[in-house]
Structure 1
Amino acid sequence: MTTFADLGVDQDIVDSLAARGIVDAFPIQEQTIPLGLPGQDIIGQAKTGTGKTFGFGIPVVQRLGLDPEPGVKALIVVPTRELAVQVYEDIDMLTTNRPTSVVAIYGGKAYEGQIEQLKAGAQIVVGTPGRLIDLAGQRLLDLSHATEVVLDEADKMLDLGFLPDIEKIFQKLPSVRHTQLFSATMPGPIIALARRFMSNPIHIRATDPDEGLTQANIRHLVYRAHAMDKDEVIARILQAEGRGKTVIFTRTKRAAQRLVDELGDRGFNAAAVHGDMSQESRERSMAAFKAGKRDVLIATDVAARGIDVDDVTHVINHTIPDDDKAYLHRAGRTGRAGKTGIAVTFVDWEDLHKWALINRALEFGQPEPVETYSSSPHLFADLDIPAGTKGRIASAPKAPKSESRDRPAPQSASEAAAEGTEPGGTRRRRRRSRGGERVGSTFEGEKRTPVEVAAPAAGGESADSGDGVGVGTHDGAGKEHHDGHPAPRRRRRRRAPRPEGGSAA
């Protein structure tokens, strides 16, 4: 294996990587770093999860020097907020032993903090197109000195319709610059974009000769499942032997929220990431998932490119993705950094045509998914699910038993009265009397006037607690209120005088 030191990387960056346990370079890094360091424009193509971020990040950090001047000198454009956070964290880690400052610019967050970091002299900006154009239009982001430019996940920008925004950003950049473009796939419009804005780029494709179109370390399982049975199937898969962190992809935001509620009710520790959540909530969910506080993350495709967690063992497609590119990016959340993973895809009856296209494009050789239910023996065998596993690991807490439930219920009302309980075993509540008064004595004897009622003493007992007759009650005959004081006089509404000459028409 080739180490980063062998590739000519500065020692302080090598030390930052070694502190994270990263010593050997992946193929895409091994091929792009030696070309990127001297300033060669690069088109880097490799499967997701193979280390493209360090492939362009190390040359960017090293080319800025040990102590760059304040101001934006490098720009890294990414399509989604989650990916912006992930790339920011990786680049920030590379600059641990340098004074170089990195800032993440993306929507859903307050402007003030990002503007303050820019004014403080951040040299590397990682951002999404919309917020970058917004700040540049307000003249709060100066890109005229950004000589290092990277487009990451360019094909996703094409899918999201960001290419016009990318052209606007390039118009604000200096004409002489070092440009790198990285992506897992290279459709025609992306190649055309590269030809317009890059200078004699070298196209590097990092693939192994024994690999197909998908990563060899990911096992792909495809099932034809019924929509009403999917939740039960997923809950059983989540109890498979050796299951670690799991990402479940849904087609819609509503389906994602419904599934996280359902799995939470079944006892699983799940979090969600989708477009209806605030940016702070999305970041909290991602942080909890990365830290291991939640081991199931349910997401829409908005997060398909921003989940960079090495120990994801399973990816489950609750609904089939729209095409083979989306499938590759979803499945690429597992099997990262050379580890193995499992990708499970559910195909609804009405989506069989989509699977036919994906199967043909990725050469799976499985045109007909296996019909599968939560009780199917092959489901347990394929995923190492223990026999007898059910789709619930927790149930609603039971109410604690009380003493009255242990006592046998009286047989008659007379027995219940003798024991102080209602017929059927419910204990009857007694009204506490004050000052030895008899039950019902409130409505006996003479009527008491408000003058005869004393105010309560400091201890909460009445001053005339000798008999306590009529204190704070209303017997229906006097004018006293519930607190023993006279009731307020009712105010009469004064009618307005009728106009002369009869009523108004």
Structure 2
Amino acid sequence: MTFSELNIDADMVQALASHGITEPFPIQQQTIPLALSGQDIIGQAKTGTGKTFGFGLPLIQRLGETPAPGVQALVVAPTRELAIQVAEDLELATSGRPTTVASIYGGKSYDGQIEQIKAGAQIIVGTPGRLLDLAGQHILDLSHVREMVLDEADRMLDLGFLPDVEKLFSLTSATRHTMLFSATMPAPIVALARRFMTRPIHIRASEPDEGLTQANINHVVYRAHALDKDEVIARILQAEGRGKTVIFTRTKRAAAKLVEELSDRGFNAAAVHGDLSQEQRERAMTSFRAGKRDVLIATDVAARGIDVIDVTHVINHTIPEDEKAYLHRVGRTGRAGRQGTAVTFVDWDDLHKWALINRALDFGQPEPTETYSSSPHLYSDLNIPTDAKGRLKPTPPMKQERQASEPGSSSRRGGSADSRNRRRTRGASDSAPQTSAPDAAAPAEKAAAGTHDGQGHQHHDGNSAPRRRRRRRPSGGAPAAQ
């Protein structure tokens, strides 16, 4: 089946095809025809199953080819990263028409977002807090919203956003067309749907082929030593066929430390965690999606925005808390039927956690294999060249940029040869050669070394060898004789 057969407009079909998107996923095949007709929909689907285009294409088409300025469609997302990803997908689909998409979320300046709203953006994608903030200031008018989407509703519930979502619903017209998507359907989400939706149809769809999901991801579990993990990761990153890779850490500090370590080893790594500004996180995600950085280190909090289909490897630097977190992490790879590899490190203290995950997911691997960076099975398991080392030879781009932006950085790191010789000369015998210039503490030496040019520089007359300079310590505080 094609998007044209689903009655999607030709300009959007062409825009998707230009990015290699030609065949709709199951959730899209089921959602698009109903959404085009104006039917309220509850879609039960996980991240990465294609639901963004499932609701996005009908939403754009229902607004018309030349929609009037002003907010007519609202997509509510639980996190900034997801809002950015959804907005980018909708911008791709609208590239052939004058429809404007604006992303509205906290952690970024109001000015640019307000300008987009005042310029007449028709589609708003945002997080609940900032949307309510701008609505409360009467900058964002939601009364004319005809299309509303609630994405990852269960995540909204987890983050405590449900009261904010209810307020947003109350600011829109009761006759709007509504679509709600959620991976799970807890009771509060069901109650929300009953309250704000009109006779919704429940569509349940998982990944493109749920039976294939486990088969197309190679799950590898190692019991690793904390001090050897960086070495092991460096070798995994040299595996044959390795593409974009996501590494999950438990803490922000661990993520920051690992990105610095891998960058120093020569890998193009970026990080996404809570200690970074929103601009830094956006820049990291953009460079990762574009392939400028092929290693992304993230904490679980930031993982919701990692919706990139060509991730080949996921590495759990530390074991996830439970089986749900494990599935969410490794679900970053093996998307759209592609092959993926998931490597999990289990510390000695976390063996009990792995036992629970193993039992819940029926992996049949209760004892992780003890593994070091020198273990032969590491290379054979993950198709790593046997001559791979823990460091790449070329200087990483990040380090080159850092060095280029720090004039005189070499002198700060180790100092020049002259400065090192100066330090070694102190305390040495008078007969030792002195290659460094005398310091300001010995004015007598400066006078004896040559003549003065009147411009703050000393020079020799060139007729005789310079006299050996000796340090003189003034006695009794009196200055040395000139």
Question: Do these two structures clear the TM 0.5 threshold for a shared fold by scoring above it?
Answer: yes
Query: Deviation of residue 58 (structure 1)?
Result: 0.4
Q: Which amino acid is 1:67 matched to?
A: T
In 2: Cα distance, 1:461 partner to 1:155 partner: 76
Q: Do the aligned partners of 1:214 and 1:362 also contact (CA within 8 Å) in 2?
A: no
Pair 1:151-2:150 in alignment:
yes
Question: What is aligned with 2:107?
Answer: 108
In 2: Cα distance, 1:54 partner to 1:105 partner: 19
Question: What is aligned with 1:342?
Answer: 341
In 2: Cα distance, 1:141 partner to 1:360 partner: 49
In 1: Cα distance, 2:279 partner to 2:208 partner: 43
Query: Deviation of residue 306 (structure 1)?
Result: 1.2
Q: Do the aligned partners of 1:213 and 1:362 also contact (CA within 8 Å) in 2?
A: no
In 2: Cα distance, 1:239 partner to 1:361 partner: 32
| Structure in which a larger fraction of residues adopt helix | 2
Structure 1 348/163 Cα, relative in aligned 2: closer, same or farther at 3 Å? farther
Q: Do the aligned partners of 1:214 and 1:328 also contact (CA within 8 Å) in 2?
A: no
In 1: Cα distance, 2:197 partner to 2:446 partner: 99
| Residue-by-residue CA offset, 1:394-434 (whole Å, 9 max, x unaligned) | 499999xx9xxxxxxxxxx9xx99xxxx65xx664688xxx
In 2: Cα distance, 1:37 partner to 1:328 partner: 32
Question: What is aligned with 2:272?
Answer: 273
Helix, strand or coil at the partner of 1:337: helix
Pair 1:8-2:13 in alignment:
no
Question: What is aligned with 1:142?
Answer: 141
| Residue-by-residue CA offset, 1:51-85 (whole Å, 9 max, x unaligned) | 11101100110111112222111111111111111
Structure 1 364/333 Cα, relative in aligned 2: closer, same or farther at 3 Å? same
Q: Do the aligned partners of 2:263 and 2:269 also contact (CA within 8 Å) in 1?
A: yes
Name the TM-score, length of structure 2 as normaliser.
Answer: 0.81
Query: Deviation of residue 275 (structure 1)?
Result: 0.7
Structure 1 343/209 Cα, relative in aligned 2: closer, same or farther at 3 Å? closer
Which stretch of the first structure deviates more once superposed, 29-38 or 162-171?
162-171
Identity of aligned residues (%): 70
Pair 1:125-2:124 in alignment:
yes
In 1: Cα distance, 2:45 partner to 2:436 partner: 75
In 1: Cα distance, 2:436 partner to 2:37 partner: 88
Helix, strand or coil at the partner of 1:75: strand
| Residue-by-residue CA offset, 1:208-233 (whole Å, 9 max, x unaligned) | 89734945422222222222222121
Pair 1:301-2:300 in alignment:
yes
In 1: Cα distance, 2:184 partner to 2:2 partner: 27
Q: Do the aligned partners of 2:76 and 2:126 also contact (CA within 8 Å) in 1?
A: yes
Higher-Rg member (1/2):
1
Helix, strand or coil at the partner of 1:164: helix
Mind listing any 5+ residue stretches in structure 2 that lack a counterpart?
396-409, 418-427, 439-443, 460-473
Q: Do the aligned partners of 1:80 and 1:302 also contact (CA within 8 Å) in 2?
A: no
Map residues 163-312 of structure 1 onto 2, 5 A cutoff.
Answer: 163-207=162-206, 211-212=210-211, 214-312=213-311
Q: Which amino acid is 1:187 matched to?
A: P
Query: Deviation of residue 303 (structure 1)?
Result: 2.6
Question: What is aligned with 1:389?
Answer: 388
Structure 1 361/195 Cα, relative in aligned 2: closer, same or farther at 3 Å? farther
Structure 1 195/458 Cα, relative in aligned 2: closer, same or farther at 3 Å? closer
In 2: Cα distance, 1:375 partner to 1:441 partner: 58
Q: Which amino acid is 2:234 matched to?
A: A
Query: Deviation of residue 173 (structure 1)?
Result: 1.7
Q: Which amino acid is 1:374 matched to?
A: S
Query: Deviation of residue 383 (structure 1)?
Result: 0.5
CA RMSD in angstroms, aligned pairs only: 3.5
Question: What is aligned with 2:32?
Answer: 33
Structure 1 214/458 Cα, relative in aligned 2: closer, same or farther at 3 Å? closer
Name the TM-score, length of structure 1 as normaliser.
Answer: 0.78
Helix, strand or coil at the partner of 1:304: helix
Q: Do the aligned partners of 2:47 and 2:307 also contact (CA within 8 Å) in 1?
A: no
Helix, strand or coil at the partner of 1:305: helix
Map residues 46-61 of structure 1 onto 2, 5 A cutoff.
Answer: 46-61=45-60
Structure 1 308/62 Cα, relative in aligned 2: closer, same or farther at 3 Å? same
In 2: Cα distance, 1:371 partner to 1:3 partner: 48
Q: Do the aligned partners of 2:49 and 2:208 also contact (CA within 8 Å) in 1?
A: no
Query: Deviation of residue 278 (structure 1)?
Result: 0.8
Pair 1:21-2:16 in alignment:
no
In 2: Cα distance, 1:225 partner to 1:364 partner: 19
Which stretch of the first structure deviates more once superposed, 190-199 or 291-300?
190-199
Structure 1 430/107 Cα, relative in aligned 2: closer, same or farther at 3 Å? closer
Q: Which amino acid is 1:158 matched to?
A: L
Mind listing any 5+ residue stretches in structure 1 that lack a counterpart?
403-412, 432-438, 444-454, 463-475, 485-505
Q: Do the aligned partners of 2:49 and 2:207 also contact (CA within 8 Å) in 1?
A: no
In 1: Cα distance, 2:109 partner to 2:93 partner: 26
